[in-house]
Amino acid sequence: MLAGPYATMLLADLGADVVKVEPLAGEISRGVGNSYFDSLNRNKSSVSLDLNSEAGQQQLGELVKDAHALLVNLKPSAIRRLGLTYDSLRRWNEKIVCVAITGFGLNAGDDPAFDYVIQAATGIAALTGDPDGPPTLPGYSSADNSTGMCAALGLLAKIISGTGGQVDVSLQDVMLSQLNYHAAAYLNHGVEPQRRPNGAHSYYVPAQLFPTAEGYLALFITHDGFWRSFAGEAGIGGFETMAERVARRDEVLAVVTAMLATDTAAGWEQRLRPLGVPAAAVRSLPEALEATPDVVVNAGDLRFVGTPIRVAGYQPEYRPAPVLGEGPRS
């Protein structure tokens, strides 16, 4: 519903000719709503095939003959049953790149796998939220989106190699990979990650959300130069090295919290940005979109956030998502 469509939309925005293969009744997310479906499927064409039929398989083969790649986002048994692997499709095109997005891997079975399930299973939910509260989720589909980007990257890398083959990308592997430094600390030093108040970073202090006189401020001090600039503006003395700040975390946070309470989040952002200190007031999505109108694009009658990949000399066109069975548009 999301990982595969997002992967191929990124490619379509960059100029790829993407044909969305759907069952005869249409992909399930068409029923969610047009803004949802279009946000993942703009710039594509659509064909509806019954891949359980001989005619549908023949039509698929004709598409594969002229394609660089096939990306599929189904459970492993369905991928194999419908003949959507490289071993099945190489007879049509030796150079076809077949990308499988699954929950746990193409050879790992059909256990149910959706974004929130994967976030729970890989330790993401356990790391998110207040230490005294329940585990929670980030509020958007981070596993699906991240897996889509990795799948698009794997697809392009395999095409560039000049040989056909199978690419296998799973939501589980992607999210464990994104826990990189947490996993490394545990695997090499036995350090178990822990939730900290206000989303505080494990290694940097102060680097977290702070309450202010009005609103919350994200402050991210990752080296001593940032600290000197911040401390000078805030009137804080001492704690000059990161090692000292980490060792005296509670003292530092108490002092910083007290100082940040003397101004609003917006006020601190205005004061710290010119100094090069990483800081931002916590905004809602509507506020963020209002502050960055250049990211909003039109595709037909709907508005979306455009591609995050900006290529010099290339200006994307944005077309609405296709109606079911709508072929390439001139």
What amino acid positions are annotated as catalytic residues? Answer: 144
Integer Cα distance of 168 and 306 in angstroms: 27
Q: Record the tokens describing residue 111, joined without a space.
A: 């256990």
Under 8 Å between Cβ of 124 and 183: no
Angstrom distances, CA of residue 90 to CA of 39, 98, 194: 32, 9, 47
The residue type at 194:
Q
What is the C-alpha separation between 185 and 192, in angstroms, rounded? Answer: 7
Task: Match 């595709």 to its residue by tokens.
Answer: 299
> For residue 15, what are its two tokens?
């100029």
With beta carbons less than 8 A apart as the criterion, state whether 48 and 14 touch: no
Q: Hey, how many other C-beta atoms are within 10 angstroms of the C-beta on 250?
A: 8
Neighbouring CB atoms inside 10 A of 182's CB total 17
